[in-house]
Chain A
Amino acid sequence: MVSTKMDKSPADLLASPGLASLLKSLKLKTKQQELLIRVSILCLVYVLAFITRLFSVLRYESMIHEFDPYFNYRVTQYLTQKGFYEFWNWFDSESWYPLGRIIGGTLYPGLMVTAALIYWILRFLRFAVHIREVCVLTAPFFASNTTLVAYFFGKELWDSGAGLVAAALIAICPGYISRSVAGSYDNEGVAIFALLLTFYLFVKAVNTGSLAWALASAFGYFYMVSAWGGYVFIINLIPLYVLVLLITGRYSMRLYVAYNSMYVLGMLLAMQIRFVGFQHVQSGEHMAAMGVFFLMQVFYFLDWVKYLLNDPKKFHTFLRITVTSAVGLGVIALGVGTASGYISPWTGRFYSLLDPTYAKDHIPIIASVSEHQPTAWSSFMFDFHILLLLFPAGLYFCFKRLSDATIFIVMYGLTSMYFAGVMVRLILVATPAVCLISAIAVSATIKNLTQLVRAKGKPNPVGPGKGTSGTKASSKGSPDQSMPFQRNGAIALLLGVFYLLTRYAVHCTWVTSEAYSSPSIVLAARGAHGNRVIFDDYREAYFWLRQNTPPDAKVMSWWDYGYQITAMGNRTVIVDNNTWNNTHIATVGRAMSSYEDEAYEIMRSLDVDYVLVVFGGVTGYSSDDINKFLWMVRIGGGVFPVIKEPDYLVNGEYRVDKGAAPKMLNCLMYKLSYYRFGELTTEYGKPPGYDRARGVEIGNKDIKLEHLEEAFTTSNWIIRIYKVKPPNNRW
């Protein structure tokens, strides 16, 4: 394609002395027109993907959202200030007091390094940007890049039309936007780009058998490993795909080259990430890839033997022996490895993916996170909208035109849809597959329909096709004369498709602006006069901590707020969102659910200076600590059997009013949340001490604190900070 243009254009430019010929030379050929349209659509989609994610910046401000992104932001700041080596060797004493955390060895550095690189490049080009702006816009920028990858992937799978539709669909798909709005500075933001890029490069490598593409996909895989723990999905899906190809008899040299070079180089590169390291060859989650790697060698060997033997009967015997011994060897190796502890078993997170009920029974800390809950049908509809209907249609088209590439996308789609059903947050992983498969459906349908419309209009189907017409079209060309309303039907169907796509665009924009663009740090509500009321209590409290407490103060709070306290409050925390030490979290849960004097002992042993609780009783903010309290009890009780969940329940019911369990009414969390709340009238016509988040009058209004004192409460009471008093003098 490049060379054909090379023939034309210089000649055109040279032979244009007259105005007429100049105009003629400006007139584009059909192919050039198509290219121009394609490039401009892609550019528009690129820009669209970026700007649709800016709602949050316009509604609120350029800020980091949620919880985890604050850690990433803090680490990025550290990286840009102190350089890469300091970052890599950073021992963070501000979290997990008194244990600390080795940052370089316990995170996926891809996101931070990416943002820092963008920052350094911009700085080098003398753009005086702040690192915060870079972090806020990293996710939209990568979302834009993902649309480009989606285009090329779609082109590889089907044709360029499907690629364009895929790019457009993924640009605004809520399932992806939920994790990539401006300010959502999280690993997923770049990881989805890396995931799709790796898959695309791998499929390209399988299609071409080219070593270059395979190596490129290894590097894509390396980037993915550096960015997100979800790389495990790639390293299991690709072997599975290869296995399916092997079973269906689609083994080829292309596949051999692609998989082996990708696996070997990808493995070596992935082991450079400290957090992964030798896990990549030792842990159970990675064994499938290794097994398939060896299987590939066996296949190759068999191929060679088959070529040498030339006798089907002998070969069959040989095949049986080899396969049996190979599989047997593999099983023995796996068994010995597992038994000797050389191969580590699957982690709880992996189990909970395969068995959705596992976490609920065994790992309450995973089950307590709302984004780890099984997905409801409504959220599928919310995140995918019409794609949910187009997805099966796309699968139909894929099966109809089965190739190595379409088999891949079908497998990717089906597995990721399963995982999306297990955990809400994994809808994100399914989104690119759903978009691509739906794009195939849309593109194929529209193409068929337009052909029908055009063919009827022009009896001669050889006329110059424009835009979507391809070679396949003319072969199917001549319409069936027996269907008189075919053309009208096609037009009606086309209109229907456009209507659906329009509804999709409207839905996506609405979801983005209403549901996914709230930073969750700043809460907004409608006032009595329709005006916007802002509750900025989180930052009020964190900034108070930052300015008015000793720099070495230790703050105890539930782990949800750990990252935010260290990033915004700049104070040491006991536990944070990197939930690596269950016992430590259970200790905090135990302190929160004990009586004050017992809790005081625990807090003294942890050197706690301040306790922070989140309380929504005044504003009606429902995701506060009282509503999370049962999880604290469960997690605390999981390690310390002193804490028993039934003590906090009355007939299996969780209450905070007069009928609540006595232990509930006197535990630390209750006391800290409701201290002096009984004096406050929150709502007109209700008694004082009326909890608006739970809609009840609280049961214990006369709360006395012995070992703690109120240090700060924010203006809407959402955050309450208490100071732990030093022990009384004994004499």
Chain B
Amino acid sequence: MAAIILSLLVLSLSLFTVISSSSLPGLQILQAERQIDLTSHIVRVYLTLKVENIEDDPASTVLLAFPPAQFDRLALVKAAVTVGKKRKKSYVPLEVNPTEQPSSPNGTKYYAISLLKPLLKGETTTLEILYILTHSLEPFPVEISQSDSQLVYYHDSAIILSPYHIKQQATLVKTPSNKVESFTQVEPTHRSGNELRYGPFEDEHPYSYFPIIIHFENNNPFAVVEELEREIEVSHWGSVQVTEHYKLAHAGAKHKGVFSRVEYQSRPAASGVSSFKHLLAELPPRVHSVYYRDDIGNISSSRLRTSSKKSELLIEPRYPLFGGWKATFVIGYGVPLQDFLFESAAGARYLNYSFGCPLADTVVDKLTIKVVLPEGSQNPSVEVPFAIEQSLETKYSYLDVIGRTVVVLEKKNVVPEHNVPFQVHYKFNPIFMLAEPLMLAAAFFLFFITCVAYLHIDLSLRK
């Protein structure tokens, strides 16, 4: 079996190298080092590239190449450049954007990193790149029983896919434990403990590719939120109310057959190792009125710990989540307004809140953030550090007449690294705050007036 796979791989490799003649001249990579972190279900790849310009034209962008299958699973690409010498070394983030190239072999997709200043001939620079892949660990066997542990495949290339010539490179793969069932052997490969090293490879041509498969044990919770809707409601009376609707699923190997409570209770180490019981949500400090419920009522198994820095909410779904099992629930809380709402110019305010999902170590397939602005606010505009889809809605809440403006932000494939602040700017006249109390007062006044009137009017026909 393994031999067949290997021969197929060699075949595809040779095909690949034949086609990949069109390279992008201009830059070459002197040294590349890649670390693939497979310890959780979110694959994090750290790439260090030392890039040199070998042509006359100054180069202002560096391209990163991804195979199309990987490109679809990319959640985030971040790049930074090291500035300064050893002691005063610091990282400056660079702008990264997906781009198209006219001649891309086998549908290769690209990200372009814009350098701080163009690279002249002979100059070198070192780039630190992090990219995150989701849904890239494929469980095999696809279905496991309660006593089995979960094995997954990871597919990648032993050689870094790049449009540039790479002089020297190496790849380090970190697995969660020593239990690696099998991995593709490529000379030179070295394995020690939970680390697997491919390389060093010398002088690889552009678009070189050598597929590898690693089959290993990963019992980390594969917590995937299929849909998350966060509603952030701003009230100028002093509170921001957040309501989060989760559709959680265990995206690992599907549970098969019996679920035995006896075994789950008496042998926790050997039974249901890939399942998870609880999740940790990190909430803002000074959070209040926290609730955790679902469609059929409150879920009593949760714990809240608060400190001045942060609040941690440990939530336990109603039942342990085995592979393929799902749970939906709602978390809601209030936070003080002054922590998140600020005034910018005259009459203008902005809400500064964190994007992303507060649950630790989860992937969100589809995230919708709805910022509900107070009734009467105008000109909403959003500042988010990455690409998202935006739209506007109207929502009617307590005693609303004209409705509240809702800014809807949508993003797919969200990982914990997306938990960065975003801003919503809007204009609001404080006089609108009085509208609802005045309405209530008027209603009560009218009620009493009618009562008085009724008591003083004789409606009977007879005198």
Q: Which A residues are CB-close (under 8 A) to B397?
A: 126, 128
Given A3-B458, A6-B458, the answer on whether A534 and B300 have CB atoms closer than 8 Å is yes
Q: Across the interface, do B399 and A126 meet the contact criterion of CB distance under 8 Å?
A: yes
Q: Which A residues are CB-close (under 8 A) to B325?
A: 544, 547-548
B387 interface residue per 8 A CB criterion: no
Question: How many whole Å from A519's CB to the nearest CB in chain B?
Answer: 9
Q: Across the interface, do A128 and B296 meet the contact criterion of CB distance under 8 Å?
A: no
Segment 209-227 of A: residues with Cβ below 8 Å from B? none
B319 interface residue per 8 A CB criterion: yes
- A544–B322 CA distance with the chains assembled, in angstroms: 11
Q: Across the interface, do A63 and B262 meet the contact criterion of CB distance under 8 Å?
A: no
B290 interface residue per 8 A CB criterion: no
- A712–B397 CA distance with the chains assembled, in angstroms: 40
B298 interface residue per 8 A CB criterion: yes
B258 interface residue per 8 A CB criterion: yes
A540 interface residue per 8 A CB criterion: yes
**Best-surrounded residue of B258, B297, B326, B327 (most CB of chain A within 10 A):** B297
Which residue on A lies nearest to B459, using beta carbons?
A2
Interface string of A53-75 (1 = CB under 8 A from B): 00000001101000000000000
Q: Across the interface, do A63 and B455 meet the contact criterion of CB distance under 8 Å?
A: no
- A521–B300 CA distance with the chains assembled, in angstroms: 13
Q: Which B residues are CB-close (under 8 A) to A715?
A: 261, 319
Q: Across the interface, do B297 and A61 meet the contact criterion of CB distance under 8 Å?
A: yes
Q: Across the interface, do A128 and B396 meet the contact criterion of CB distance under 8 Å?
A: yes
- A680–B260 CA distance with the chains assembled, in angstroms: 12
Segment 283-334 of B: residues with Cβ below 8 Å from A? 293-301, 318-319, 324-328
Q: Which A residues are CB-close (under 8 A) to B295?
A: 543, 546
Q: Across the interface, do A543 and B257 meet the contact criterion of CB distance under 8 Å?
A: no
A310 interface residue per 8 A CB criterion: no
Q: Across the interface, do B456 and A126 meet the contact criterion of CB distance under 8 Å?
A: no
How many contacts A-B (CB < 8 Å)?
86
Segment 51-69 of B: residues with Cβ below 8 Å from A? none
Q: Across the interface, do A547 and B327 meet the contact criterion of CB distance under 8 Å?
A: yes
B432 interface residue per 8 A CB criterion: no
Interface string of B243-260 (1 = CB under 8 A from A): 000000000000001111
Identify which of B258, B299, B319, B456 contacts A709 (C-beta below 8 A). B258
Q: Which A residues are CB-close (under 8 A) to B259?
A: 710-713
Given A2-B455, A540-B319, A544-B318, the answer on whether A710 and B260 have CB atoms closer than 8 Å is yes
A568 interface residue per 8 A CB criterion: yes
A676 interface residue per 8 A CB criterion: yes
Which residue on A lies nearest to B298, using beta carbons?
A61
Given A536-B300, A544-B318, A712-B259, the answer on whether A2 and B399 have CB atoms closer than 8 Å is no
Identify which of A6, A547, A713 contacts B261 (C-beta below 8 A). A713
Name the prevailing secondary structure of the B interface residues.
loop
B400 interface residue per 8 A CB criterion: yes
Question: How many whole Å from A453's CB to the nearest CB in chain B?
Answer: 34
Interface string of A519-555 (1 = CB under 8 A from B): 0011000000000001010011011101110000000
Q: Which A residues are CB-close (under 8 A) to B266?
A: 679-680
Given A127-B399, A543-B327, A710-B258, the answer on whether A6 and B456 have CB atoms closer than 8 Å is yes
- A296–B296 CA distance with the chains assembled, in angstroms: 53
Q: Across the interface, do B399 and A543 meet the contact criterion of CB distance under 8 Å?
A: no
Question: How many whole Å from A526's CB to the nearest CB in chain B?
Answer: 15
Which residue on A lies nearest to B452, using beta carbons?
A9
B386 interface residue per 8 A CB criterion: no
Name the prevailing secondary structure of the A interface residues.
mixed
Question: How many whole Å from A716's CB to the nearest CB in chain B?
Answer: 9
Segment 426-463 of B: residues with Cβ below 8 Å from A? 455-456, 458
Segment 606-631 of A: residues with Cβ below 8 Å from B? none
Q: Which A residues are CB-close (under 8 A) to B257?
A: 709
Interface string of A655-696 (1 = CB under 8 A from B): 000000000000000000000100110000000000000000
Identify which of A9, A60, A128, A534 contacts B456 (C-beta below 8 A). A9
Q: Which B residues are CB-close (under 8 A) to A9?
A: 456
- A534–B400 CA distance with the chains assembled, in angstroms: 39
A513 interface residue per 8 A CB criterion: no
Question: How many whole Å from B145's CB to the nearest CB in chain A?
Answer: 11
- A10–B397 CA distance with the chains assembled, in angstroms: 42
Q: Across the interface, do A547 and B396 meet the contact criterion of CB distance under 8 Å?
A: no
- A679–B398 CA distance with the chains assembled, in angstroms: 55
Identify which of A536, A680, A717 contacts B318 (C-beta below 8 A). A536
- A461–B260 CA distance with the chains assembled, in angstroms: 83
**Best-surrounded residue of B266, B295, B301 (most CB of chain A within 10 A):** B295
- A2–B455 CA distance with the chains assembled, in angstroms: 7
Q: Across the interface, do B262 and A680 meet the contact criterion of CB distance under 8 Å?
A: yes
Q: Which B residues are CB-close (under 8 A) to A5?
A: 455-456
A714 interface residue per 8 A CB criterion: yes
Segment 264-297 of B: residues with Cβ below 8 Å from A? 265-266, 293-297
Interface string of A107-149 (1 = CB under 8 A from B): 0000000000000000001111000000000000000000000
- A403–B290 CA distance with the chains assembled, in angstroms: 59
Question: How many whole Å from B296's CB to the nearest CB in chain A?
Answer: 5
Q: Across the interface, do A679 and B318 meet the contact criterion of CB distance under 8 Å?
A: no
Question: How many whole Å from B144's CB to the nearest CB in chain A?
Answer: 16
Q: Which B residues are CB-close (under 8 A) to A548?
A: 324-326
Which residue on A lies nearest to B328, using beta carbons?
A547
Segment 589-617 of A: residues with Cβ below 8 Å from B? none
Question: How many whole Å from B259's CB to the nearest CB in chain A?
Answer: 5
Identify which of B260, B296, B297, B401 contacts A676 (C-beta below 8 A). B260
Q: Across the interface, do B398 and A539 meet the contact criterion of CB distance under 8 Å?
A: no
- A544–B325 CA distance with the chains assembled, in angstroms: 9
**Best-surrounded residue of B258, B261, B301 (most CB of chain A within 10 A):** B261
Identify which of B296, B301, B455, B458 contacts A568 (C-beta below 8 A). B296
Which residue on B lies nearest to A569, using beta carbons?
B296
Which residue on A lies nearest to B463, using beta carbons?
A3
Segment 324-347 of B: residues with Cβ below 8 Å from A? 324-328
Question: How many whole Å from B25's CB to the nearest CB in chain A?
Answer: 55
Interface string of B17-57 (1 = CB under 8 A from A): 00000000000000000000000000000000000000000
- A63–B299 CA distance with the chains assembled, in angstroms: 12
Q: Which B residues are CB-close (under 8 A) to A127?
A: 398-399
Which residue on A lies nearest to B329, using beta carbons?
A543
Segment 378-418 of B: residues with Cβ below 8 Å from A? 396-401
Q: Which A residues are CB-close (under 8 A) to B294?
A: 543
Identify which of B262, B319, B396, B458 contacts A2 (C-beta below 8 A). B458
- A540–B399 CA distance with the chains assembled, in angstroms: 36
Which residue on B lies nearest to A9, using beta carbons?
B456
- A128–B403 CA distance with the chains assembled, in angstroms: 12
- A676–B396 CA distance with the chains assembled, in angstroms: 53
- A712–B260 CA distance with the chains assembled, in angstroms: 7
Q: Which B residues are CB-close (under 8 A) to A680?
A: 262, 265-266
- A390–B265 CA distance with the chains assembled, in angstroms: 56
Which residue on B lies nearest to A711, using beta carbons?
B259
Which residue on B lies nearest to A709, using beta carbons?
B258
- A5–B301 CA distance with the chains assembled, in angstroms: 60
Question: How many whole Å from A38's CB to the nearest CB in chain B?
Answer: 15
Identify which of B398, B455, B458 contacts A126 (C-beta below 8 A). B398
Q: Across the interface, do A679 and B262 meet the contact criterion of CB distance under 8 Å?
A: yes
Segment 701-731 of A: residues with Cβ below 8 Å from B? 709-715, 717
23 A-B pairs within 8 Å (CB atoms) are namely A2-B455, A5-B455, A5-B456, A61-B293, A63-B298, A125-B399, A126-B396, A126-B397, A126-B398, A126-B400, A536-B318, A539-B296, A540-B318, A544-B318, A546-B295, A547-B327, A548-B324, A548-B325, A680-B265, A680-B266, A710-B261, A713-B260, A713-B261
Write the residues of chain A forming the contact surface with B, with a CB cutoff of 8 angstroms. 2-3, 5-6, 9-10, 60-61, 63, 125-128, 521-522, 534, 536, 539-540, 542-544, 546-548, 568, 676, 679-680, 709-715, 717
Extra pairs beyond A126-B400, A679-B266, A709-B258 (12, CB < 8 Å): A5-B456, A6-B456, A10-B456, A61-B293, A61-B297, A534-B300, A543-B318, A546-B295, A676-B260, A680-B265, A710-B259, A713-B260
Which 9 A-B pairs have CB atoms at the shortest separation, nearest pair first?
A: A713-B261, A540-B318, A61-B298, A547-B326, A568-B296, A63-B297, A128-B397, A534-B300, A676-B262
